[in-house]
Amino acid sequence: MILVPGWLWQRGPVGRGVGAGLGVGVFSAAFVLVEAGSWPGAAVVLVVLSLFYGIRVARRMRRLWPEAAHLNGADRAAVVRATRRGQDAGDPRLAPSVAAYAGALRRAAEEDRLRRWIVVLVTVLAVGLAVYDTLRSSTGETVASWLVVVLFAADLMWWPRRRARLLDRAGRAEASARRGTDAGRAADGS
């Protein structure tokens, strides 16, 4: 959910699942094609991974931010964009949605933090496989293996800082939304 960009939120649940699933499916199928040189294998990975990952992402998005179902596509995208940038949504009626989305981002980050040990384990295994492929395998397999190592290393080193900045901006947007909501309530009450 943290990686899902604002423009993807304009779509409904099926469109979000298809968009997220295809992204991962195409990326993974390209690795299969580079490593194994197998078009049928790449096609299977594309279909299976796109389907399963798309369903998983759509379900997780719905679970973490159920309020999204009550917004139209443009409003969902505006809320996501403002929250990710740490800005005011510009529309007072979207302030509660900004706060809800910021909370969803925090919950997603916490769930992901609990799974970090898996990324460390897979990175260690990927390094071992890359070394083995370097010594024993074809050039395509070696290149694909080291690309996987680079991706996992980036996930371990780059992503935590990026996630922290995103959550900081989401916190600023949430605080701004709450101030706007509180000011609106005070004006209505006076």
Residue 174: pLDDT over 80:
yes
On average, the pLDDT of the chain sits at: 88
- How far is the C-alpha of 13 from the C-alpha of 22, rounded, in Å? 14
Q: In this predicted model, which residue has the larger pLDDT, 89 or 127?
A: 127
Mean pLDDT of 63-80: 92
Q: pLDDT value at position 8? A: 80
Helix (H) or strand (E) holding 189: helix 159-189
Residue 150: pLDDT over 60:
yes
- How far is the C-alpha of 11 from the C-alpha of 133, rounded, in Å? 41
Q: In this predicted model, which residue has the larger pLDDT, 30 or 188?
A: 30
In order, the DSSP letters of 73-136 are HHHHHHHHHHHHHT---S-GGGHHHHHHHHHHHHHHHHHHHHTHHHHHHHHHHHHHHHHHHHHH
Q: pLDDT value at position 46? A: 94
Q: Which of 3-12, 13-22, 163-172 has the highest mean pLDDT?
A: 163-172
